[in-house]
């Protein structure tokens, strides 16, 4: 038992070191090239997306996360809605396609993490201040106009994965007003036998602290991320009706986390 515990601690520590090294290396690469591509928005977006995807795939390998996609992810400029189980959702999705994410505003103030999120054009939203929503929608519109895909975790917070919580509709206003198709995907995780359950070790929710949870996640030998993309996007001129359709579609293909 002691030997097994020591092995888990060594695994977690070595993975944390590897994460720091990979993040620092790729961030330095991005900074080195950014001045040369920044005058060309298209080239800048492609370079940023390439580095972000390389980072996400590296993190998958470091963490021992095997991403199993089903269906075809959207391409080009798109809006995609998904359920939300924790920070590894970003890694899993970013490893599959180029996109920017909408995240809660608190993340912007996190040490290191906030800087990295801003570097990949994350769109921050303060859901507690409704008057900020129009500004967020404008940033989403600019991202789409620039050719980026935008991912929205419409539950508004991460959950333990028992079910899909109701979707908030405020950030679907742009899609409803312009008749834009909205794609969807469902996320789920599973851990191997004799490992802590995914709802505790992978899902990040409630009052779990980030660093303690990340350390426990990295102590796992491996785990799987199941990403299922919907076949057809939805279009609806009523944002609330659109949110309900998307939630029903995500729920229908969602596998509860155990």
71-115 tens-digit pLDDT? 999 999 999 999 999 999 999 999 999 999 999 888 888 888 888
In a 10 Å sphere around its CB, with 0-12 CB exposed, 13-18 middle and 19+ buried, how is residue 198 labelled?
Answer: buried
How many Å apart are CA 50 and CA 97, to the nearest integer? Answer: 10
The mean pLDDT of 130-150, rounded to a whole number, is 93
List the beta bridge partners of residue 123: 102
Answer yes or no: are the C-beta atoms of 217 and 200 closer than 8 Å: no
Residues in the chain: 258
Q: Answer with the residue of higher pLDDT: 69 or 131.
A: 69
How many Å apart are CA 173 and CA 239, to the nearest integer? Answer: 6
In a 10 Å sphere around its CB, with 0-12 CB exposed, 13-18 middle and 19+ buried, how is residue 48 labelled?
Answer: buried
Mean pLDDT taken over the chain? 94
**Interval 179-204: pLDDT, tens:** 999 999 999 999 999 999 999 999 99
Of the candidates 99, 173, 114, 104, which has an alpha carbon nearest to the alpha carbon of residue 138? 173
CA distances from 67 to 96, 225, 250 (A): 9, 5, 18
State the pLDDT confidence band at 173, using cuts at 50, 70 and 90: very high
């Amino acid at each position: 038992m002691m030997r097994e515990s020591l092995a888990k601690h060594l695994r977690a520590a070595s993975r944390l070191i590897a994460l720091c090294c990979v993040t620092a290396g790729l961030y330095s690469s991005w900074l080195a090239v950014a001045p040369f591509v920044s005058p060309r928005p298209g080239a800048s977006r492609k370079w940023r997306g390439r580095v972000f995807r390389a980072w996400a795939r590296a993190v998958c390998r470091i963490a021992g996360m095997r991403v199993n996609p089903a269906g075809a992810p959207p391409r080009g400029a798109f809006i995609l809605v998904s359920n939300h189980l924790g920070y590894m959702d970003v890694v899993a999705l970013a490893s599959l396609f180029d996109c920017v994410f909408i995240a809660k505003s608190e993340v912007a103030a996190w040490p290191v993490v906030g800087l990295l999120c801003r570097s990949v054009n994350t769109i921050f939203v303060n859901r507690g201040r409704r008057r900020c929503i129009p500004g967020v929608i404008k940033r989403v519109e600019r991202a789409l106009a620039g050719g980026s895909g935008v991912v929205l975790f419409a539950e508004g917070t991460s959950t333990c994965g028992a079910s899909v919580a109701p979707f908030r509709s405020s950030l679907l206003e742009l899609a409803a007003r312009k008749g834009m198709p909205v794609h969807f995907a469902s996320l789920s995780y599973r851990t191997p036998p004799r490992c802590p359950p995914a709802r505790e070790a992978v899902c990040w929710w409630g009052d779990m602290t980030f660093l303690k949870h990340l350390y426990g996640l990295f102590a796992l030998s491996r785990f799987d991320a199941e990403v299922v993309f919907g076949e057809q996007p939805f279009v609806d001129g009523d944002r609330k009706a659109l949110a309900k359709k998307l939630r029903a579609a995500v729920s229908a293909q969602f596998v509860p986390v155990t």
